[in-house]
Amino acid sequence: MPPSVALSAILITIISIAVRNAPAADADAFQFREAPKFYNSPNCPSLTPPAAAAADTTSNICYDSNAIHVAMTLDAAYLRGSMAAILSVLQHSSCPENIIFHFVSSSSATTSDLRRTMSISFPYLQFNVYSFDDSAAAGLISTSIRAALDCPLNYARNYLADLLPTCIRKIVYLDSDLVLVDNIAKLAATPLINDAVLAAPEYCNANFTSYFTPTFWSNPSLSLTFANRKPCYFNTGVMVIDIERWRAGDYTTKIVEWMELQKRMRIYELGSLPPFLLVFAGNIAPVDHRWNQHGLGGDNFRGLCRDLHPGPVSLLHWSGKGKPWARLDENRPCPLDALWAPYDLLGTRSNLES
Ligand SMILES: *[C@@H]1O[C@H](CO)[C@@H](O)[C@H](O)[C@H]1NC(C)=O
């Protein structure tokens, strides 16, 4: 091993130890590298700035329909994952300058720290940070089978329609434990057919019954919610959402109503997913499975290594207990974690250049 490689390996070890030992809320403790600037290709549509009449504090992000709006949550625990996801989105986009990010952070986090950390690694990124009042969701959460699923920020996706400015009509929601290996414009262009509020890949072979408790299925007034629908499982980590339709139908309230019921009687075991299934399953627009190759984190209990589902891949999603950055740090990666590593902004510089 040449000395320079050995030295950088030592430095990375020091940095990752520093990060692991850092107080979780201190975004300054993260030493992420700066990502390169990504440029639009010549045939990209240009963004029309918003009309002066619409000028307000958020008007800089109120571009026309040529912009692609991406919503993600942002917190100290998953910051490294978010950074990798953002980098992967930009790197595979043909019009990266037309992408606008909307980051939702917990109200207990210091948004100015997150904003600064983001600006250091992505100086050219167009983004806004929104503060999510966790206490609203916290009171609605009942404990699930995996503690990480009970984090209030996990529920922020229910509230995007309230958090984001009304000038935004459509968004792509992405979890923080994924990377894209394809152009996000293709996903964002998913037609929301049949007046669907959201689009996501559906998995009709999954055992839908198992997502709800016998209490739920044995109570006709509850289980009838799925009458006249053909409900299938979908993963809420990748969704294209028409937020105008979401607002018009007040779907936030519909989801909250199921969460309130769950507090009184246990109708499901997982965290934020089942209320989405209750409200939307069977009524969503389809997306090719390539856009959510999920489950790479393994199961909810042990985080065993999982393989890809058959077929092409546009997005890799480490849903489940194991996260690629943690397994790489522990020197116990799963084979597919090697596909996440090139997007790690805490990794070696050569990762980005190769
Ligand atoms: C689906 O899950 C339910 C509840 O977990 C179980 O009772 C049923 O046998 C399963 N069905 C199939 C086809 O595996």
**Nearest residue (CA) to ligand 1, atom 5:** 210
Virtual torsion, Cα 316, 256, 25, 236, nearest 10 deg: 0
| Side-chain half-sphere exposure of 16, counting CA atoms within 13 A | 19
Cα gap 75→80, rounded to integer Å: 9
Q: Which residues line ligand 1 (CB under 6 A)?
A: 207, 209-210
Q: Residue 210 CA: which ligand 1 atom is closest? A: 5
Pocket test for ligand 1, best of 203, 207, 270 (most atoms within 8 A of CB): 207
189 pLDDT tier (thresholds 50, 70, 90) = very high
Residue 286 has what DSSP assignment? E
CA 31 to chain CA mean position, Å: 22
Per-residue pLDDT at 2 exceeds 50:
no
**Nearest residue (CA) to ligand 1, atom 13:** 207
The rounded Å distance from CA 208 to ligand 1 centre is 8
Three-state DSSP string of 261-284:
HHHHCCCCCCCCHHHHHHHHCCCC
| 132 touches 104 (CB < 8 A) | yes
The rounded Å distance from CA 266 to ligand 1 centre is 18
The rounded Å distance from CA 217 to ligand 1 centre is 12
| 346 touches 6 (CB < 8 A) | no
Cα gap 316→102, rounded to integer Å: 21
Residue 49 has what DSSP assignment? P
Residue holding tokens 């769950």? 262
Question: The whole model's pTM is what?
Answer: 0.86
The tens digit of pLDDT for each residue in 32-61 reads 999 999 999 999 998 876 655 454 545 567
The tens digit of pLDDT for each residue in 100-123 reads 999 999 877 778 888 999 999 999
The rounded Å distance from CA 213 to ligand 1 centre is 11
Cα gap 329→337, rounded to integer Å: 11
Q: How far is CA 7 from CA 18, 228, 297, 331, in A?
A: 16, 63, 31, 18
The rounded Å distance from CA 209 to ligand 1 centre is 6
**Nearest residue (CA) to ligand 1, atom 11:** 207
State the pLDDT at residue 59. Answer: 54
Q: Which domains does the chain have, with CATH numbers?
A: 3-31+64-353 (3.90.550.10)
